[in-house]
Amino acid sequence: MALLSVKDLTVKFAMREQSVTALDGISFDLAKGERLGIVGESGAGKSITGFSLMKLISKPGFIDRGQIQFDGRDIAKMDEPALRDIRGNHMAMIFQDPMVTLNPVLTIGEQMVETLRAHRKLSLEEAEQIAIVKLREVYIPSPEERLRQYPHELSGGMRQRIIIAIALLLEPKLIIADEPTTALDVTIQADIMDLMLELCQTNKVSLILITHDLGVVNQMTERTLVMYAGRIIESGRTREIINDPQHPYTQGLINALPQQTLPGQPLKQIPGSMPSLTNIPTGCAFHPRCAYATSRCKTEIPRTLRFGAVEVACHEVERLKAGQGKAGTGQPAANGNASANGDTSAYDEASTYDEASANGSGS
């Protein structure tokens, strides 16, 4: 059974006139010990996804509909006392900037002991012992001394290690890491990534890694979700998504990287930019930037189709697949009649709850 199962999660922000949809029917599963990456550009909704998994969406934002099944309980329906038991205890979060996450007027020890004693009945000495063990796990030299130090006395990499140690204090089942290495230098980033990978593997902790960096996702995760304008547009095994992306946006994102082009040659850019949430295009949100967009893409939101282990939300994906195999001459596949086609890429509709909930809940 999946540790976390998100179904049709929709998050809105109430504004003066209308409400803005930040997440639009997100669904995914996460198995125990699995490492999942969420990639996308700013404004894609990846951080909102992370926050809503812990129900940390505050006013004017709210969870409009959907379920977040975690260990058999629906987080979306929980009240504050129940959430307090989940947060930190069963799920922990790591943020981008360690200096903002740590309290500058408390020592490292005070912050770690505080977290432990908020959830467990422990004496001060016991809590400190646990804190020292955890600091050692993240390779902090002389942890006994660190407990007496303040955050400003430590370097950026050291602070992020301490954040990871705090996240691991209560042995959570899931860690949500929102751009954990973005503020760090490359050599430090590589160390922190190695550390997180090692800790997830040895402790069997599930990880949701939110990042804009495809290289980081490639090295850290087994499965990846690609987000665009509040929707998941492609998901599947990380290797496959990077080696053989299906959605035109994912393809564009990977092809835009400087590594994908010979030095000095123009990069393959995606025209335009991510739409703002107040002004999401109709139909497929990516259609104004997409080279393959048709009139259907402008009006109809694409459903998620499954191709083997990969799920893609694109009307034109079949035509693109056919075009790849037959050197340019793209044969438009008969819509809805995949069986009539001799193609091996059998697809079935992955999202059925999409329509069901749209009809059912009329709030």
Partner 1 sequence: MQTETRQPLLKISGLEKRFELDKGFLETLKFRKGRIVSERREVHAVNGVSLEAERGEALCIVGESGCGKSTVARLVAGLLDPSAGQIHYGGQRIDNLGRQALAPIRKKMQMIFQNPYASLNPRMTIQQALEEPVRFHQPHLSKSEMKDKVAEVMRSVGVDPSWRFRYPHEFSGGQRQRIAIARSLTVDPEFVIADEPISALDVSIQAQVLNLMLEAKAERGLTYMFITHDLSVVQHFGTRVAVLYLGSLCELADTATLFAAPKHPYTKALLSAVPQLSDERPNHIRLKGEIPTPINLPSGCPFQSRCAYATSRCSAERPEPILQADGSQVACHAVEEGRLD
Q: Give the sheet arrangement for strand 35-39, strand by strand.
A: 91-94, 174-178, 206-211, 35-39, 223-228, 231-237, 310-313, 304-307, 347-349
Q: Is 142 in the site for partner 1 (CB under 8 A)?
A: no
Q: Is 190 in the site for partner 1 (CB under 8 A)?
A: yes
Reduced DSSP (H G I as helix, E B as strand, rest coil) percent helix, strand, coil of the chain, to 5: 40, 20, 40
Helix (H, G, I), strand (E, B) or coil at 50: helix
Cα separation, 324 vs 318, whole angstroms:
10
Scanning 17-25, 81-89, 265-273, 307-315 for contacts with partner 1 by CB under 8 A, the matching segment is 265-273
Q: Given the complex with partner 1, which of 37 and 66 has the nearer CB atom?
A: 37
Least Å distance, CB 171 to partner 1, is 27
Least Å distance, CB 154 to partner 1, is 10
Q: Given the complex with partner 1, which of 263 and 342 has the nearer CB atom?
A: 263
Residue 242: which of 266, 262, 228, 259 has the closest Cα? Answer: 259
Cα separation, 76 vs 68, whole angstroms:
6
Scanning 106-114, 128-136, 181-189, 346-354 for contacts with partner 1 by CB under 8 A, the matching segment is 181-189
Q: Is 259 in the site for partner 1 (CB under 8 A)?
A: yes
Count of residues that bind partner 1 according to CB under 8 A? 41
Q: Is 242 in the site for partner 1 (CB under 8 A)?
A: yes
Cα separation, 94 vs 108, whole angstroms:
16
Helix (H, G, I), strand (E, B) or coil at 306: strand
Scanning 90-98, 106-114, 180-188, 302-310 for contacts with partner 1 by CB under 8 A, the matching segment is 180-188
Q: Is 256 in the site for partner 1 (CB under 8 A)?
A: yes
For partner 1, the binding residue among 82, 118, 257, 356 (CB under 8 A) is 257
CB 30 within 8 A of CB 58: no
Binding mask 197-216 for partner 1 (x = CB under 8 A): ---------------xxxxx
Tokens of 236: 């599947």
Residue 140: which of 160, 124, 126, 125 has the closest Cα? Answer: 160
For partner 1, the binding residue among 218, 294, 341, 351 (CB under 8 A) is 218
β-pair type (174-178, 91-94): parallel
Q: Is 268 in the site for partner 1 (CB under 8 A)?
A: yes
Interface residues toward partner 1, by CB under 8 A: 41-42, 155, 157-158, 185-191, 193-194, 212-216, 218-219, 239, 242, 252-254, 256-259, 261, 263-264, 266-271, 273-274
